[in-house]
Amino acid sequence: MRYLPLTDTDRRAMLAKIGVPSIDSLYRDVPEVAWLAGPVDLPPHQGELEVERAIGALAAKNMGSSAVPSFLGAGAYRHHVPAAVDHLIQRGEFLTSYTPYQPEVSQGTLQYLFEFQTQICLITGMEVANASMYDGATATAEAVMMADRVTRRRRAVISGNLHPHYREICQTHARFLDFKLAIGEPDPAGRQDLAGLIDSETSCVVVQNPDFFGNLRDQSKLAEACHRAGALLIVAVTEPVSLGLVEPPGAMGADIVTAEGQPIGNALTYGGPYLGLFATREKYLRQMPGRLVGETADVDGKRGWVLTLSTREQHIRREKATSNICTNSGLCALAFTIHLTLLGEAGLVRLAEINHATTVRLAERLSALAGCRIVSESFFNEFTLRLPKPAAEVVEQLAKNRILGGVPVSRLYPKRPDLADLLLVSAGECTTDADMEALLGALKEVL
């Protein structure tokens, strides 16, 4: 078997050294009743070619979004990733290393995470960032739990325009940690004022910018209202490319910024693995979840990096840790940081401008279709389109024409008939004029 280097000769020699007659005798502590006499009922081993064929056959049953005109967003966005990114993250020294607990032989990982933390601070306008979390949604739930620790309060206000998955994860944690949530109504035009929901027990207010329906909103006034009441403002960003063009949450007074990092450097891969970005103010540093890399020096005085402030973490604090999280999303963070390094200041701004301009053009053309209306008052690279009929049906018909036409809001709000005609539509640098023509043409037929 190609991944197993021991030969039968090796095995015999090793058993002789150990002083046992067989490998089975090494398992003597396993009770007989639990021991399987033969292989389980699964197929036997296969060569590379056979495995590649089998998984290739499964892939062929899907409609890959890069093969067709695609306008999907709702928290995951397709962008062109430079070839260098995927090449570099497959270097074995990155791919096959562990968490950098031994800093002398992990300076590569530690240095890129330090650079990553700095990049996250810069794009979000915040003071400190961790070395990444599972995804944007779980990072947001961690932010809510952190706000509880900081304020010692147990009631979070959640915008109705927060991505429903993000909200649902907060609800799951709230149920098991016995904290309360006040949840706003979904508001496709993005006008809802949450300040009225804040009370003296409120630990935080969670908003998304651009929000689930695409709207951009100045959160400064809400930040002031939060701070007057002693609560934190958490701003979630599901599309970090927007931060190239849009005022960052840090400049609007956010106390914690969480984001989905996938759109920079990472493939869609049907929803994971992604990476969560997490940034906050320095004064809340010690209540932060997740890993942190800090600068220091070695015994020769040379600059180097280490994991730091791990007294917050589970392997030291056990049940008193700030979070049970053990891993981050190291390799996804590497892809993110390499892509952002290649983009740099000029590239991120340009990429954001292209995304916005393309989406504005698409919005203009779609709003000219009979019975269609753009609901979002402002947007970055995704907006909400009101259709004259249920969006889910339209999307199914478009898929039959090999077009991935957008995400029907009903997929995430199935019990809200008032939202059934709404379609989330996203465009970007991958969207060609031909893609737009295809969507417009197909919609004319379907509607």
* Residue range at the interface with another protein (CB under 8 A); choices 83-91, 153-161, 199-207, 226-234: 83-91
Candidates 197, 201, 308, 365: give the one binding another protein (CB under 8 A). Answer: 308
Q: What is the four-CA torsion angle of 182, 253, 123, 408, rounded to 10 degrees?
A: 30
The contacts of residue 116 (CB under 8 Å, 6+ apart) are 129, 131, 132, 333, 334, 336, 337
Shortest Å, Cβ 204 to another protein: 18
Q: Cα–Cα distance between 158 and 139 in angstroms, integer?
A: 15
Find the binding residues for another protein in span 335-364 (CB under 8 A): 338, 340-351, 353-354, 356-358, 360-361, 363
Q: Cα–Cα distance between 268 and 149 in angstroms, integer?
A: 33
The contacts of residue 196 (CB under 8 Å, 6+ apart) are none
Nearest of 165, 214, 164, 207 to residue 189 by alpha carbon: 214
Q: Chain-centre distance of CA 436, in angstroms?
A: 27
Shortest Å, Cβ 112 to another protein: 6
Shortest Å, Cβ 197 to another protein: 22
Residue 69, interface with another protein (CB under 8 A)? Answer: no
Residue 375, interface with another protein (CB under 8 A)? Answer: no
Shortest Å, Cβ 363 to another protein: 7
Candidates 313, 382, 421, 435: give the one binding another protein (CB under 8 A). Answer: 313
Find the binding residues for another protein in span 119-138 (CB under 8 A): 119, 121-123, 125, 127-129, 131-132, 134-138
Q: Name the burial class of residue 157, with classes exposed (0-12), middle (13-18) and buried (19+) by CB atoms within 10 angstroms of its CB.
A: buried
Kindly tell me which of 137 and 147 has the beta carbon lying closer to another protein: 137
Kindly tell me which of 229 and 349 has the beta carbon lying closer to another protein: 349
Candidates 21, 44, 370, 445: give the one binding another protein (CB under 8 A). Answer: 44
Residue 39, interface with another protein (CB under 8 A)? Answer: yes
The DSSP letter of residue 133 is: B
Kindly tell me which of 104 and 445 has the beta carbon lying closer to another protein: 104
Per-residue contact string for residues 90-119; x = within reach of another protein by CB under 8 A = xxxxxxxxxxx-xxxxxxxx-xx-xx-xxx
Q: 3-class DSSP state for residue 306?
A: strand
- In the numeric block, the tokens 């630990």 are attached to 203
* Residue range at the interface with another protein (CB under 8 A); choices 147-155, 226-234, 306-314, 435-443: 306-314
Q: Chain-centre distance of CA 143, in angstroms?
A: 14
Candidates 8, 34, 152, 445: give the one binding another protein (CB under 8 A). Answer: 34
Kindly tell me which of 205 and 333 has the beta carbon lying closer to another protein: 333
Residue 367 identity: S
Residue 169, interface with another protein (CB under 8 A)? Answer: yes
Kindly tell me which of 87 and 227 has the beta carbon lying closer to another protein: 87
Find the binding residues for another protein in span 250-269 (CB under 8 A): 251, 260, 267-269
Q: Cα–Cα distance between 172 and 194 in angstroms, integer?
A: 22
Kindly tell me which of 176 and 200 has the beta carbon lying closer to another protein: 176
Kindly tell me which of 287 and 323 has the beta carbon lying closer to another protein: 323
Q: Name the burial class of residue 275, with classes exposed (0-12), middle (13-18) and buried (19+) by CB atoms within 10 angstroms of its CB.
A: buried
Shortest Å, Cβ 74 to another protein: 5
Structure tokens at 40: 């389980």
The contacts of residue 293 (CB under 8 Å, 6+ apart) are 100, 110, 113, 114, 117, 131, 305, 306, 307, 308
Residue 401, interface with another protein (CB under 8 A)? Answer: no
